[in-house]
Amino acid sequence: MNWKKNFKNVFVAIGISFLLIIALFPFYWLAFSSVKVLTDLFEPNVIFPWETTLTLFNYEFAVTKAYPSLISLFLNSLYISILSVVLTLTIATFGAYAVARMKFRGKALITNSILLIYTFPGIIMIIPLFVLASKLGFAGNMTGLAIAYLAQTVPVALYMMAGYFQTIPAEIEEAALIDGCSRFEVIRKITLPLSLPTIASISLFIFMIVWNEYLFARTFLLTLSSDQFTLAIGLARKTAHLADFGAYLASAMILLTPVIILYLLAEKYMVKGLTAGAVKG
């Protein structure tokens, strides 16, 4: 029995390592290359860090020379992403609470439409959204972009959140009502604190969607000057006519870093949040 189990474990470990190497190698190559000296950049035999001289020159060069607006692009992306997360969470919380807890006419229709919108690819929505946004006068600025993202992010967030709310026993909320809370206080003091794991994972998820998004950003920010772009479109645009690979790799690392940091911070919630809906609370 025991040797069988060990045997199995060995196989599992080999399988996982294999997948990990495939998944992580490009990232390793990117991270490693971004700190290589320029001369080793195209040297295929330099695979390990100790075979070259490590330097932060690429980063310095990227920020100061190659992409002088990198910092402001970074801040733009951060602003749009955070704004999107906050707006999405605010709207999705109330929507999800209504879907999960309230009884109202047309609830099934609304719930199903949310799921339906969730299945629309962004490309279907972009033109009507852009037309709508221009008519309302918020196309062509970052806040407008963050609002446009809601069309993509709210359905996902609402759906995930409603699923989680449903796992919270209604009796706990009723107890709070009887203890003297209003419905709004119940949400604030009981439901939301209990939903922190899900909120963390949804936030990260939304942040990642918005941070890496290209199509909407490209369309909505088209008319602005290049230092008002998001990081993703800004980098892509520059790279099209700039062949400084060292700086490009360093910038890509900068693009990746916030997502990685956030993931590490939220990881333990992430696992909880993604599994919470599946298991009975």
Partner 1 sequence: MATIRFEKVVKDFGAPEPAVKDFSMEIPDQEFLVVVGPSGCGKSTILRMLAGLETPTNGNILIDDQIVNFLSPKQRDIAMVFQSYALYPHKNVRDNLSFPLMVSKVPKEEIRSRVLETAEIMGISELLDRKPKELSGGQRQRVALGRAIIRKPRVFLMDEPLSNLDAKLRVKMRAELKKLQRRLKITTLYVTHDQVEAMTMGDRIVIVDNGVLQQVGSPHDIFYNPVNKFVAGFIGSPPMNFNNVKLVEQQGKIWLSFFAMKLPVPERLEKAILSVKDEGLIMGIRPQSLIFEPTELPTDYIIPAEITVAQPRGTEVDTEFKIGEAYFMAVFPPEQDYEPGMQFKVGFDPKSIYLFHKETGKTLY
If you count them, how many residues does the chain have? Answer: 281
Contact flag: residue 187 with partner 1 (CB under 8 A): no
Q: Which of 112, 182, 257, 275 binds partner 1 (CB under 8 A)?
A: 182
Contact flag: residue 171 with partner 1 (CB under 8 A): yes
Q: Which of 157, 188, 162 is nearest to 88 (CA)?
A: 157
Residue where the block lists tokens 């196309």: 139
78, 263 in Cβ contact below 8 A? no
Contact flag: residue 185 with partner 1 (CB under 8 A): yes
Contact flag: residue 243 with partner 1 (CB under 8 A): no
Q: Which of 89, 92, 190, 200 binds partner 1 (CB under 8 A)?
A: 190
Contact flag: residue 21 with partner 1 (CB under 8 A): no
Nearer to partner 1, 116 or 177 (CB): 177
Nearer to partner 1, 168 or 236 (CB): 168
Q: Which of 15, 49, 128, 193 binds partner 1 (CB under 8 A)?
A: 193
3-state helix vs strand vs coil in the chain, percent to 5: 80, 0, 20
Task: Give the distance, in angstroms, between the CA of residue 264 and the centroid of all CA atoms in the same chain.
Answer: 13
242, 226 in Cβ contact below 8 A? no
Nearer to partner 1, 67 or 97 (CB): 97
The strand pairing partners of 5, in sequence order, are none
Q: Which of 108, 62, 83, 84 is nearest to 242 (CA)?
A: 62
Q: Which of 22, 23, 178, 243 binds partner 1 (CB under 8 A)?
A: 178
DSSP annotation of 190 reads I
Contact flag: residue 104 with partner 1 (CB under 8 A): no
Nearer to partner 1, 23 or 279 (CB): 279
Contact flag: residue 176 with partner 1 (CB under 8 A): yes
274, 266 in Cβ contact below 8 A? no
Distance, in Å, from the CA atom of 179 to the CA atom of 187, rounded to the nearest integer, reads 14
DSSP annotation of 280 reads -
Q: Which of 56, 116, 131, 172 binds partner 1 (CB under 8 A)?
A: 172
Min CB(38)–partner 1 separation in Å: 53
- Segment near partner 1 (CB under 8 A); pick from 66-74, 118-126, 154-162, 166-174: 166-174
Compute CA distances 182 → 3, 35, 171, 173, 190, whole Å. 59, 56, 15, 10, 11
Q: Which of 89, 194, 221, 232 binds partner 1 (CB under 8 A)?
A: 194
Chain residues that interact with partner 1, rule: CB under 8 A: 169, 171-172, 174-182, 185, 189-190, 193-194
